Amino acid sequence: MRKRTSAQHFIIAPQVRFTAAPLGGIRVRGWWIGIIPALGIAFAALMGLPLLIDMVLRATRGDVLPLAIVGGYFAAGLVIYVVYVRSR
């Protein structure tokens, strides 16, 4: 918010916007990928993987409730996403 009020070019040309991501980013096949957001996604997946492995191992031993909860959560998110995309 401070950049918007202190930068004079926003007053002159409000359609020009600039954003900055820490450590910048790289272009891969025309797509800009920010380094910090990509690392955040990678580390979130890395931390979630042991939990998913544990839930699958528990399901093979007969305790399917944790995996069913996560599966239901995933299915609900997928339905919400599909409904949202179709409405747009």
Q: What is the pTM of this model?
A: 0.58
Where residue 33 falls among pLDDT bands split at 50, 70, 90?
Answer: confident
What are residue 20's phi and psi, to 5 degrees?
A: -135, 140
The 8-class DSSP code of residue 21 comes to -
Bridge partners, 33 (sequence order): 26
> Quick one: what percent of the chain has pLDDT higher than 90?
56
Q: What is the pLDDT of residue 1?
A: 45
pLDDT at 20 over 90: no
Helix (H) or strand (E) holding 34: strand 31-34
